[in-house]
Structure 1
């Protein structure tokens, strides 16, 4: 991809006042933050002939997306869909304002449109759609909205004999998303163990906490589906950001998750469900889960539950013979 590397270098280094003066002299809108303006100038002055509409971005190849992201000075690794998402976000939003808190203020139609542009599933109510968009934003965190500090500080590293397409190097590790269907419901045994974990040792807790955990434990299947939605949006990563999103969505549903004990237990159970679903635990998929379900649910309680089920089956068989 050919472009004027010298002009691009000046845009990387330019301050807000300088960029505004340049935009005004070229008849380009000078509104927005320095990073929004920088992206607009790169689009109009460095890549004027490149179709960067949503349809144009969809038509780009994997390599074209990577080269374009490098020119804009942002993260260029990831799957083809992640690259499309990141480029579209960078060209259309201010990363400081496109936050999960702002999503909470949007109506369903706006969230549906965002899901279309971010290539997320379109079914579900407002909360589900918000979770999908939030999952994408979490997955793309720090990957768009501002150029790399090294480019802002040092600009492009020119060397003799290099062309415009060669001066920007990529040292990022490519992330391959997990091929897992996170929307599949967890097995009944996992749901039952999650319920048992939430109410384990209630008699040792305050009465208010006991009541809150009993209420939350009745929504385990919903909890399982929310976890799947978040994982789908985050590319299979489950870390602190995903836990915080889960708690926010839980509160929006009216679940009593204000007490620290309740939040801690819910997030630990959710982490184990996510791990069982095949998630990469930790912000970068490198931290092992704490296996809360497996460690906290005693073998005795599991044995009792299985025993009750076997007794029920035995009773049914006896009745059928009679």
Structure 2
């Protein structure tokens, strides 16, 4: 793992188009109720795990209102550097009740769509923040209307022109838009692929075919997470299967974002694709043993990576 001196850590950029303020009710050991306030949103969750894995993470996103002011402060307390774009509207938020074990949604306030000027400011700030990055990590919006999908096309294309590797964890319209611009690694869940009509079923053959099509459409490499089944990947004409130990799951939320962060951290360190898969799977496996999305311990992830099996699968282009 990287030393703690931020000057020696690889610079990682995170595009977070919809940071969220999250409130979760938890049962305390004595049976009373605890209230936890944390940052949220896919971009932040990816960035937090990347920071845990030793990266100097710079997050760019829109922040406004009371929730936005709180978010900037608590994100920076997590060790990330925030490049905020001020907005007229407040950030989105949600309240979850997890006192009985499973998450129950009490309230979900979607972030409002950004204005034209706010979109321009967010794009410019993101490009400026990413120019020194070893890797750019793109998370999706909490709601499709938060930012125009074409923003991902422009951002991916410009980052590619600047020679900055892009690792994207997307679905729906933003996935298609990012492919138009081109990405180095696309990570997606098999459920999202099926829901988006990009895979016919969860059968291995259908998913292998879907990965080939995604590569043809603009993804240099593709990684598909499959819940409890081994992840699969496609890179440089090779299919891969990635199997992690069957650990006890406390909360599966955030495992995919942790995997994306692990892949990005390996890319920033110049590791081989197989090793990126290994670190990503390890980060996801450690995350599910804990409460809290995209949390973990760098030493535990490093040790877990030694237990990850990465093997080639047979496959051929149709």
Higher helix share: 1
Q: Which TM-score band (shorter chain)?
A: under 0.3
Higher strand share: 2
Larger Rg: 1
TM-score (norm 2): 0.27
